Structure 1
Amino acid sequence: MGRASDRRSVLRIDLSAPDRDAPAAVRRPDTLAGEEPLEIRVGRAGQARRPLAVTMRTPGDELDLAIGFLLTEGLIRSARDVSTAQLCAGDNAPNTYNVVDVVLADGVPEPETDPARAFYTTSSCGVCGKASIDAVRTRSPYDVATDRVELAATDLARLPDRLRAAQRTFERTGGLHAAGLFSTGGELVVAREDVGRHNAVDKVIGWAARQERLPLTGHVLMVSGRASFELTQKAWMAGIPVLAAVSAPSTLAAELAGEAGMTLVGFLRGQTMNVYTGAERVTC
């Protein structure tokens, strides 16, 4: 398996240095966020598992990532739909263990591997290659609209700093997204980092699924970037009633959140925020 971060030698150029006699360019070590491919293979026991997806991710929490991905794509409904999931050596040397082999439980249908619904994902996009928007508007088994949870705006305002404090690899690299699952009182339940924001969310949801905590009624999902359609869908698939982001939501994210009955909060920075849908859950 690869590493979450790696040290490299870089040429540091500083044109703002006040001492003109000092060199403007020096060699120094720098820490970079790890990024490697992860192939997810799915099938039945006693049969060869077929590649379903390849995602570029930061090494770590691979089983959570795989389970979270399968669940948020609607291919399984809970971790009980998986008989076993294990890291395997890849086809190329050296062995980097960039393959997760998933054996489905009896009675769980195998996913189709239709090229029109390709699951190749990059670090920045979790729905690339889908045939249409309709294909990714996966219906959740959970009715989050009936979740009557309420949360104080003052508690919401504390979440970005609490998520930032949990980003240990970001502290060294400055190059990772983060997702955190919080109670409505603002207590951190679990946090994950990744070069792909969708991977960070899948790692959180996969962890919750393996802990048999779904649906995540009465919880808040906080993300370090923008609130996209894919992240809104993933939160809905896990039964999360509130999605908060430090940056902007997209039009499709707001549309889907409204359709699902979710509370969508954007531009959560300092003491201000925008509540796009589900404002009745937020108290001032």
Structure 2
Amino acid sequence: MGRVTERRKVIRIRDGVISTRPDTLVAEEPLEIRLNGKPLAITMRTPGDDFALAAGFLVSEGVLGEAHELQNIVYCAGATGGGTSRSSGAESGGGSNTYNIVDVKTAPGVVIPDITLERNVYTTSSCGLCGKASLDAVRTTARWAIDDGEAAPVRLQPELLASLPDRLRASQRVFDRTGGLHAAALFTEDGELLDIREDVGRHNAVDKLVGRALQNGALPLSRTILLVSGRASFELAQKAVMAGIPVLAAVSAPSSLAVDLAAESDLTLVGFLRGASMNVYAGEHRIALRTAAAHG
């Protein structure tokens, strides 16, 4: 895979003392996602897990929902003069990835939603597909209704949620070297860490998580908790809904549209998850809330 970090010279000023030193920066490169040979979107991402990113992106688009619907993913090396392509199995191999175009091929018979076919957009690492979707679009393309299955309903203790940001931070290996990456982590309802991905864009980190789950045949991600660094945008709420994730927690604020989508989709949305404090914006039935009388 490509380099996750790069080195650059920096002039450092500390207490009036000037020095020159190398600094480790997070890498950012464009990735063009093609669908069955046709350009679909370009996103700025941190190289690595590119196939999972593309697969997860197409889950959020309503194109993919099960592993058998994905025929293969290849790097389009010919775009850089190589004239060859590499299959999805080659992503984890050695060597430097110079390919910034991937082509996702769906299995025969997979129907592509109109919302995907009608759009060819550039996405940024900071905000993702800004203004792309509406609440109605998510309703019409979601594969699964968010539910807790046949077992007892998910019931999370606030103390468990409060412990997750520290566990997320402790697992951010690249962030420790650069200070410049977002992260998304998937936990079980008991707080077990299932997976964590980092990227310059938090929406890319979520796509990498969801894409891995698709490749492993693990969708929908029922009875899980998605924790993201930063804010909870509409797009992140959309990705959670499209993957069947019942709980989305963020260390910063949600947007108004994210709260609206969560309320309409039965998604539990928690924001400002910092220390023992948090705000529950929707889906409070999955949180073991204490009544005011219990504190009296």
TM-score, length of structure 2 as denominator length: 0.86
Cα displacement string for residues 89-114 of structure 1 (whole angstroms, at most 9, x for unaligned residues): 15236871111121110101346698
Q: Please name the residue that 2:105 is paired with.
A: 103
Q: Please name the residue that 1:255 is paired with.
A: 260
C-alpha distance in 1, partners of 2:245/2:133? 26
**What amino acid sits opposite 1:96 in the alignment?**
T
**What amino acid sits opposite 2:4 in the alignment?**
A
C-alpha distance in 2, partners of 1:42/1:112? 13
Q: CA deviation at 1:135?
A: 4.5
**What amino acid sits opposite 1:38 in the alignment?**
L
Q: Please name the residue that 1:168 is paired with.
A: 173
Verify the 8 A CA contact 1:120 1:128 in the aligned structure 2.
Answer: no
Q: Please name the residue that 1:225 is paired with.
A: 230
Q: Does 1:9 align with 2:12?
A: no
SS at match of 2:30: strand
Matches within 5 A, 1:59-70: 59-70=47-58
Segments of 5+ residues of structure 1 without an aligned counterpart are: 18-22, 44-48
Q: CA deviation at 1:126?
A: 1.8
Cα displacement string for residues 9-36 of structure 1 (whole angstroms, at most 9, x for unaligned residues): 110122xx2xxxxx62110111000100
1:137/1:11 CA distance change after superposition, 3 Å: farther
Cα displacement string for residues 208-236 of structure 1 (whole angstroms, at most 9, x for unaligned residues): 11111111111000000101100000000
C-alpha distance in 1, partners of 2:204/2:9? 28
C-alpha distance in 2, partners of 1:78/1:138? 18
Q: Does 1:53 align with 2:41?
A: yes
Cα displacement string for residues 170-205 of structure 1 (whole angstroms, at most 9, x for unaligned residues): 010000110000011111100000001110000000
C-alpha distance in 2, partners of 1:269/1:192? 20
C-alpha distance in 1, partners of 2:139/2:129? 10
Q: CA deviation at 1:87?
A: 2.3
Moved more, 160-169 or 117-126: 117-126
**What amino acid sits opposite 1:85 in the alignment?**
I
1:80/1:96 CA distance change after superposition, 3 Å: same
Verify the 8 A CA contact 2:115 2:137 in the aligned structure 1.
Answer: no
C-alpha distance in 2, partners of 1:282/1:113? 34
Give identity over the alignment, percent.
Answer: 59
SS at match of 1:120: strand
Q: Please name the residue that 1:46 is paired with.
A: none
1:276/1:31 CA distance change after superposition, 3 Å: same
Q: Does 1:126 align with 2:128?
A: yes
Q: CA deviation at 1:149?
A: 1.1
**What amino acid sits opposite 1:69 in the alignment?**
F
C-alpha distance in 2, partners of 1:131/1:223? 20
C-alpha distance in 1, partners of 2:206/2:116? 25
Q: Please name the residue that 1:179 is paired with.
A: 184
**What amino acid sits opposite 2:65 in the alignment?**
R
C-alpha distance in 2, partners of 1:174/1:278? 32
C-alpha distance in 2, partners of 1:127/1:243? 19
**What amino acid sits opposite 2:123 in the alignment?**
T
Segments of 5+ residues of structure 2 without an aligned counterpart are: 83-96, 290-296
Q: CA deviation at 1:51?
A: 1.2
SS at match of 1:87: strand
Moved more, 130-139 or 272-281: 130-139
Verify the 8 A CA contact 2:74 2:103 in the aligned structure 1.
Answer: yes
Q: Please name the residue that 1:20 is paired with.
A: none
Verify the 8 A CA contact 2:73 2:104 in the aligned structure 1.
Answer: yes
Q: CA deviation at 1:245?
A: 0.2
Q: CA deviation at 1:133?
A: 6.3
Q: Does 1:37 align with 2:30?
A: yes
Verify the 8 A CA contact 2:147 2:222 in the aligned structure 1.
Answer: no
1:51/1:118 CA distance change after superposition, 3 Å: closer
